[in-house]
Amino acid sequence: MKILITGGAGFIGSHVIRLFINKYPNYEIVNLDKLTYAGNLENLTDIENASNYKFVKGDIVDKDFVFDLFKQEQFDGVIHLAAESHVDRSISNPTEFIMTNIVGTVNLLNAAREEWKDNMENKIFYHVSTDEVYGSLGDEGFFLEDTPYDPRSPYSASKASSDHLVRAYHHTFKMPVKLSNCSNNYGANQFPEKLLPLMINNIKHSKALPVYGKGDNIRDWLWVNDHARAIDVIYHEGKIGETYNIGGHNEWKNIDLIHLLCNVMDKKLGRPKGESAKLITFVTDRAGHDMRYAIDATKIKNELDWEPSITFEQGLEKTVDWYLENESWLNNITSGDYKTYYVNQYEN
């Protein structure tokens, strides 16, 4: 089996690549990534020489490139993770999100449809999405697979559009699709614009910890390794045409999470308890900031026997340990030095 994994040099994608490379040695895994600011091949140094792995630099927005790649490689399956994913960036530059998340997804769908038109049996197009497409919850309730879409940011609107297109291709063209919507991921190798690696890095260097509004916004947190396991089980055992919500059963107010992180970091760094919490600084809230996300992951548990393997507290400890033990990775990312080799070698 030959599988295309898009966005495989990114945070979630690199963990999926690693899992599939190691677990399925008889599969051929092709990693397609544009290597934007968040794509980093340094995430995959441990498997980059594996016999069943191949990296291709390219942009899913480039239709001709995508069609040529599908024709050349003859993929049996696609796991589509490539996306612009940072809400703040989508507010400042919506067009880039529309191009990558919508047009790029359509290019992949059309290329797969063209190559699979004579035989869609045993083919899979798996589209990975976000819980942000559902909008914002009140104090109670959870997002279900049939919760109506209500995206509130350019990012979530672009992902909602791509979700609808994937389902439309299934119903119109009989494309064999699967979808999943996940909650906030955390763990190793995450680009430090995201909350936890940003805060870990700032605490380490005694910099301010910016918290939107009053920090009352609530998120459900999913350890990235558990997400990769869920993608594996959905790809292999999920039903064609179905959607699966993936959640960590870990709801945290942002401010409570930051205080927990501060306590963990104080302990790890040998600082007095409460020292890092002094760095918390409240800043103007994000435009259109959704108040609460929470996933009901009952379906994937009941149908595919998946559930989170660790608690948030356990996952946070592992995450902090990884960033403290991989200081060179974090320094390379924050300085941009990783581009010297891992990006520039593919520019010409």
Catalytic residues: 131-132, 155
Tell me how far CA of residue 162 lies from CA of 217, 266, 274, in angstroms: 26, 42, 44
Q: Which two tokens stand for residue 149?
A: 């879409």
Measured at the CA of 177, the angle between CA 119 and CA 39, to 5 degrees, comes to 110
Contacts of 235 (CB under 8 A, 6+ apart): 77, 79, 124, 126, 178
Phi and psi dihedrals of 106, rounded to 5? -65, -40
Q: Residues with Cβ < 8 Å from 49, sequence gap 6 or more?
A: none
Query: What H or E segment, with its residue span, contains residue 25?
Result: none
Distance CA 208, CA 318 (A): 23
How far lies 94's CA from each of 73, 151, 158, 159, 162, in Å?
32, 14, 9, 12, 15
Cα–Cα distances (Å) from 175 to 124, 170, 178, in that order, read 8, 4, 10
As a whole number of Å, the CA-based R_g of the chain is 20
Nearest to 189 by CA among 229, 228, 156: 228
228 touches 130 (CB < 8 A): no
CA distance 343 to 34: 9
Asked whether the beta carbons of 10 and 34 are under 8 A apart, the reply is: no
Q: Point out which residues pair with 295 in neighbouring strands.
A: 143
Q: What residues have CB less than 8 Å from 146, skipping those under 6 apart?
A: none
